[in-house]
Structure 1
Amino acid sequence: MKLKQLSEMLGLSQTTVSRALNGFPEVSAETRSRVMKAVRETGYRPNRAAQRLATGRAGSLGLVMPIAPGLDSDVHFGEFLAGLGEEAVKHDFHFVINPSAPEDEESTFRRLVASGNVDALYIAYVRRDDPRIALLNTLNMPFMVHGRAVDQGPHSYPFLDIDNTGAFYNAARLLIQLGHRRIGLINGPAHFAFAIRREKGMRKALAENGLPFDERLAHNGLMTDDFGHQAMEMLLEEPEPPTAVLCSSTVLALGAVRVLDRRGLKVGRDISLIAHDDELPMLKPENFSVPLTTTRSSLRAAGARIAERLINRVLQHGDPAEQELWRTELILRESTGPAPVR
């Protein structure tokens, strides 16, 4: 189907249909809805080259994907990308994924902006003091940050983040209320802002109850089940092992539980476990051998929200929620119980 046929079917001019497809603000919401419904029903696809000439937009979101020897793919990134994609396809936006070595990210961002192949950018896996944020603030292109830097002064950039400090504060406080005094932490890489904030939340809960943060009971590493397995082995080898452990992901918890099962330790009785749940569809906390108590926030929903906000900015619909901080839920299940008597 061509634009002329689509406009005749709708009883609208080709100009009106084109403007509705391209997000021009003077087209009413009702008309745009009619046009988009017809597009879905007929399978119409606009000519990308013509669309770009008419609007000056590429209809694409830019992602820079870090690659390096030994850098494993991440199931968390895939889930976030699924949410981003679900929202982008509603507006007929595409992705441009540009691989980059970590040390070459700045020039990769500059090339991507200069290419004209993207209308907006997003970054994730934010570091303590992230130079990419300062760079993107200097480039003439909408961008969004999934997360927040830690040591970067006032937040002067658009972001969506979850309250990582509050999540692990609440989780640690629950364990303390259950009588636990030695609490372990299996966390993400130490330079990532989310990991820093989760440790901060745990430290806060411990300090409020006059308990020390034992560095020997905290381990940082890749968000994989292998690292969860390794870290739990190290925790249990301590002269005084923890009676409870916080994990930064259900993926880490999967490895931790393998160790506990092999040693004949019962989760929720011999040792309590709380994990952060990104709502990964293939790893549901309620399906563990002992259902996991979790702090919960959907990565897929975050991806969809970031795509929505970026596309609104590209289409000049504004971005009233310049900065968003989502609270997490604390979901109680059988993996947490009173501290065992030792």
Structure 2
Amino acid sequence: MNLKELARKLDLSPTTVSRALNGYPEVNEATRERVAAAAKRYNYKPNTRAIRLATGRAMAVGHVIPVATRHEIVNPVFADFIAGAGEVYSRNGYDMLLSIVPDDNEERVYRELKSRGTVDGVILHAPNTEDPRIPLLVELGIPFVVHGRATGTAPPYSWVDVNNRRAFLRATEFLLDLGHRRIGLLNGLEKMDFAIRRRTGYEDALASRGIPADPEIMVSEEMTEAAGYRATRAMMALPNPPTALLASSIIIGFGIRRALEDMGLAMGRDVSVIVHDDDLSYMRNGEDVPVFTATRSSVREAGRRAADMLISIITGKVLAPQEQLLEAELIIGQSTGPCKG
């Protein structure tokens, strides 16, 4: 079925149908919903080339990944985010453009995307505090959404983030309630905003119980299995080792479990462990009963929401910066138990 045939069935003009499908703000919501329902019922797929010609849009969204973070391409967290965003792009007729660039060329790539009209908008990944990319994108006038937040960045901007501080505050309080007082933190790189917020939640929970944070059992590294293994071995070799560990990723958690097993310790019995981001498509946290106690947030859902938000900005459905703060759920698994000390 083509556009004219769909318009005849709806008794609308082809222009109105096209504008409804492409999110023009002058089409009222009732008409937009009616057209969308008919398009689904008749399995109508808009011609992307025609949309590009009619709207002047590239019908593509960009993701710029610096070389220094190229591991993100094979990181299941990044893959789940892209999968969720991709669902939304596909449903709305948008392509995805991934650009892998040297760190010092990131600004040039954004400027080229703007000058060439290659994409209609971008999603910005892994924001740092006072991230210079945000004012750059505001200056260039490229619609964008940040996956995360950037503390200290002045211009208002659209973002989707999980409440990292609250997630780690709750996780630390849970361990404290189990009687643990020596709680190690295996965090991500603390130049990144999410890691700073997680450490803040952890430290706030300790402070509320009168327990000072001990830098000797706090590490900030890439969130890999090997980093989790190394940090756990080092912490457990201390004269006063932690009785519980809080990790910024289930990937770190796998390294923690391997290290504890190598030392003859049982996770949950001898050392309690809580991880973050356990809701990954290809790295499940057990089957019926979770292996890890976890602060669970769906990265795939974050991808869907960020993509929906960006397309709403591109199509003019929303004009002011949008913000979505998602809450993590504390899932009780087999990796935590009362402190034995």
Cα distance in 2 for partners of 1:33, 1:108 equals 37
The equivalent residue for 1:138 is: 139
Map 1:246-265 to 2 at 5 A.
246-265=246-265
Query: Could you list the per-position Cα deviations for residues 261-295 of structure 1 after superposition, in whole angstroms to 9, with x for gaps in the alignment?
Result: 23221111100000112510222324499721111
Matched residue SS, 1:285: coil
The equivalent residue for 2:239 is: 239
Please report how far the alpha carbon of residue 6 of structure 1 lies from its aligned counterpart in structure 2 after TM superposition: 3.9
Cα distance in 1 for partners of 2:24, 2:289 equals 53
Cα distance in 1 for partners of 2:288, 2:222 equals 21
The equivalent residue for 1:116 is: 117
Please report how far the alpha carbon of residue 30 of structure 1 lies from its aligned counterpart in structure 2 after TM superposition: 4.5
Q: Report if the CA contact (8 A) 1:267-1:290 is conserved.
A: no
Map 1:88-99 to 2 at 5 A.
88-99=89-100
Distance 1:140 1:153, change over 3 A: closer
Matched residue SS, 2:275: strand
The equivalent residue for 1:198 is: 198
Matched residue SS, 1:23: coil
Letter paired with 1:174: F
The equivalent residue for 2:228 is: 228
Distance 1:210 1:65, change over 3 A: same
User: Which stretch of structure 1 is more off in the superposition, 128-137 or 267-276?
Assistant: 128-137
Cα distance in 1 for partners of 2:93, 2:298 equals 23
Distance 1:28 1:273, change over 3 A: same
The equivalent residue for 2:266 is: 266
The equivalent residue for 2:88 is: 87
Matched residue SS, 1:267: coil
Letter paired with 2:143: P
Cα distance in 1 for partners of 2:325, 2:18 equals 36
Please report how far the alpha carbon of residue 228 of structure 1 lies from its aligned counterpart in structure 2 after TM superposition: 1.5
Cα distance in 2 for partners of 1:138, 1:194 equals 25
Matched residue SS, 2:294: strand
Cα distance in 1 for partners of 2:288, 2:336 equals 13
Matched residue SS, 2:96: strand
Distance 1:156 1:320, change over 3 A: closer
Distance 1:264 1:290, change over 3 A: farther
How many residues get paired? 340
Q: What TM-score does the superposition give when structure 2 sets the normalisation length?
A: 0.91
Query: Could you list the per-position Cα deviations for residues 18-44 of structure 1 after superposition, in whole angstroms to 9, with x for gaps in the alignment?
Result: 223322234344544454455456655
Matched residue SS, 2:273: strand
Cα distance in 2 for partners of 1:38, 1:65 equals 38
Please report how far the alpha carbon of residue 11 of structure 1 lies from its aligned counterpart in structure 2 after TM superposition: 4.5
Distance 1:137 1:28, change over 3 A: closer
Query: Unaligned regions of 5+ residues in structure 1, if any?
Result: none
Distance 1:93 1:218, change over 3 A: same
Distance 1:14 1:289, change over 3 A: closer
Q: Report if the CA contact (8 A) 1:309-1:319 is conserved.
A: no
Query: Unaligned regions of 5+ residues in structure 2, if any?
Result: none
Q: Taking every aligned residue pair, what percent have the same amino acid on both sides?
A: 41
Cα distance in 2 for partners of 1:97, 1:24 equals 27
The equivalent residue for 2:284 is: 284
Please report how far the alpha carbon of residue 304 of structure 1 lies from its aligned counterpart in structure 2 after TM superposition: 0.6
Cα distance in 2 for partners of 1:29, 1:170 equals 40
Cα distance in 2 for partners of 1:299, 1:242 equals 29
Distance 1:284 1:49, change over 3 A: closer
User: Which stretch of structure 1 is more off in the superposition, 199-208 or 27-36?
Assistant: 27-36
Cα distance in 1 for partners of 2:293, 2:71 equals 30
The equivalent residue for 1:301 is: 301
User: Which stretch of structure 1 is more off in the superposition, 93-102 or 312-321?
Assistant: 312-321
User: Which stretch of structure 1 is more off in the superposition, 205-214 or 21-30?
Assistant: 21-30
Please report how far the alpha carbon of residue 116 of structure 1 lies from its aligned counterpart in structure 2 after TM superposition: 0.9
Cα distance in 2 for partners of 1:218, 1:235 equals 9
Q: Report if the CA contact (8 A) 1:278-1:299 is conserved.
A: no
Q: Report if the CA contact (8 A) 2:164-2:197 is conserved.
A: yes
The equivalent residue for 1:324 is: 324
Query: Could you list the per-position Cα deviations for residues 288-311 of structure 1 after superposition, in whole angstroms to 9, with x for gaps in the alignment?
Result: 997211111111111111111111
Distance 1:290 1:25, change over 3 A: closer
Cα distance in 2 for partners of 1:59, 1:70 equals 25
Query: Could you list the per-position Cα deviations for residues 92-136 of structure 1 after superposition, in whole angstroms to 9, with x for gaps in the alignment?
Result: 122122221122111111111111121111101111221111211
Q: Report if the CA contact (8 A) 1:182-1:242 is conserved.
A: yes
Map 1:46-57 to 2 at 5 A.
46-57=46-57
Distance 1:227 1:163, change over 3 A: same
Q: Report if the CA contact (8 A) 1:184-1:218 is conserved.
A: yes
User: Which stretch of structure 1 is more off in the superposition, 155-164 or 126-135?
Assistant: 155-164
User: Which stretch of structure 1 is more off in the superposition, 15-24 or 201-210?
Assistant: 15-24
